[in-house]
Amino acid sequence: MRKRTLLTFAILAGVTAIGLAQAAGTGAGAQAPQAPAGRGMAPPPIDAKVAARAVAIPYEQVIKMEKDLSNWGRWGKDDERGSLNLVTKEVTLKAIRGVKDGVYVSLARWADLQKLPDTYTFGETKHWMSNVNPVTHQVRGALDNIMYGIHDGTNSHLDSLCHYNMEKDGINVVFNGHPQNLDEQGCKQDAIDRMGPGVITRAVLVDIPLMKGVPYLEPGTPIMASDLEAWEKFANVKIGSGDAVFIRNGRWARRAALGPWNAAREAAGLHASAMPWLKQRNISILGSDAVNDVQPSGVEGGVPGEAKSRPIHLLSIAVMGVPLVDNGYFEDAAREAAQRKRWDFLMTVQFTRVPGGTATNFNALGVF
């Protein structure tokens, strides 16, 4: 059975220290995470109109891509950085030289403090002052704590290469064929602390709603390789080696207009058939303002698991070694890019190197 590794972190942030609360994962023999109180265990049904938008792709085609798109061994048998190796010194320097205006925007959003249909995905989100008088309950100093699941449905994060696994010869493995070795302290290989200090490279924003003349894509809308090619012509940009590719489907614009929904189950996103195209372009990072995968995925047949439900995640992380950015915030970047009619810019992000971590906060900047 194909299983996904989910490791939820509660991060305690203060003026002088950052602490890691106990993490919990799902793997062989592990207990599945409990749903937050009041949410229930059964997921809501997928809207029929959303499901109707799914473009069918055979399960067997996804399984074939596991072999055809593999980057295992490409950067050596011990490599744990995957496609980040494509961000060479030359790539970084070229991206820096591309800055024209010195204008920068955030590409990140933090987890919502309210319990909503797309929040509290893997635990409660909470912010509280920690230096409080126990008798008067008055705040004594500017010290606070934060607790949240790093894979929360509204938190921008970059997945490490141990976040997804697949079965190979009867063994659960992560990128590069490393055994899936994890416990309550996290992953032993392909974790975020083994992927370097961060990345500085060129980013290409793919603004599909802009190209289609709509404010946002409806949930379930698939983004195909033909859409990516059409975008290159529309934006006069060529996606190339070492680029970070961020696909805007307008999730945050739709949320602002219509309110939150379960975007983990119903979302516009990449169709699995686009993955060979992205492999050819040698991208270093792939990101979306939702979950990257179109949901429902459109994969027909096969057995339940990630190849069926989240093929983009599986193929990117476990097969190609391409870290994914989920829930990125690209609204400000889209505005600045449209004003300049230039959709490539410098992207810089520092990783929060949690030992054994399955992700880092994506506290990235885009510089024009």
Task: Tell me which fold the domain 58-110+156-367 belongs to.
Answer: Glucose Oxidase; domain 1 (3.50.30)
The string of pLDDT tens digits covering residues 52-78 is 888 999 999 999 999 999 999 999 999
Tokens of 315: 């193929």
pLDDT higher than 70, residue 27? no
pLDDT higher than 60, residue 40? no
Kindly tell me the sign of the dihedral angle through the C-alpha atoms of 215, 348, 323, 186: negative
pLDDT higher than 60, residue 46? yes
Mean pLDDT of the chain: 89
* CA-to-CA separations, 179 to 106, 108, 168, 170, 221, in angstroms, rounded: 36, 32, 9, 11, 35
How far apart are alpha carbons 11 and 221 in whole angstroms? Answer: 34
- List the one residue out of 25, 63, 11 whose CA is nearest residue 299: 63
Does residue 296 have a cis peptide bond before it, meaning omega lies within 30 degrees of 0?
yes
pLDDT band at 38; cut points 50, 70, 90: very low
- Residue found under tokens 């909470």: 126
Q: What percent of the chain has pLDDT over 70?
A: 88
**Tell me, what's the pLDDT at 26?**
32
Strands (E), 152-309: 157-159, 166-168, 171-173, 182-183, 186-187, 198-207, 222-223, 244-248, 269-270, 285-288, 299-300
67 vs 18, more confident:
67
Q: What is the mean pLDDT of residues 317-328?
A: 98
- List the one residue out of 261, 248, 216 whose CA is nearest residue 327: 248
Q: What is the mean pLDDT of residues 139-145?
A: 94
The string of pLDDT tens digits covering residues 217-248 is 999 999 999 999 999 999 999 999 999 999 99
**Tell me, what's the pLDDT at 43?**
54
**Tell me, what's the pLDDT at 52?**
81
pLDDT higher than 90, residue 151? yes
pLDDT higher than 50, residue 83? yes
User: In a 10 Å sphere around its CB, with 0-12 CB exposed, 13-18 middle and 19+ buried, how is residue 353 labelled?
Assistant: middle
Q: What percent of the chain has pLDDT over 90?
A: 84
The string of pLDDT tens digits covering residues 158-212 is 999 999 999 998 899 999 999 999 999 999 999 999 999 999 999 999 999 999 9
- List the one residue out of 237, 238, 246 whose CA is nearest residue 107: 246
Minimum mean pLDDT range among 57-71, 121-135, 246-260: 121-135
**Tell me, what's the pLDDT at 44?**
66
Tokens of 246: 């961020």
Rounded to two decimals, the pTM is: 0.88
How far apart are alpha carbons 291 and 220 in whole angstroms? Answer: 12
CA Rg value for the chain: 20
Sequence-ordered list of residues with C-beta below 8 angstroms from that of 143, at least 6 positions apart, any chain: 14, 15, 129, 130, 131
How far apart are alpha carbons 185 and 28 in whole angstroms? Answer: 16
Q: Which amino acid is at 180?
A: Q
How far apart are alpha carbons 5 and 365 in whole angstroms? Answer: 28
**Where are the domains positioned within the chain?**
58-110+156-367
H or E element that contains 105: strand 104-106
How far apart are alpha carbons 137 and 89 in whole angstroms? Answer: 52
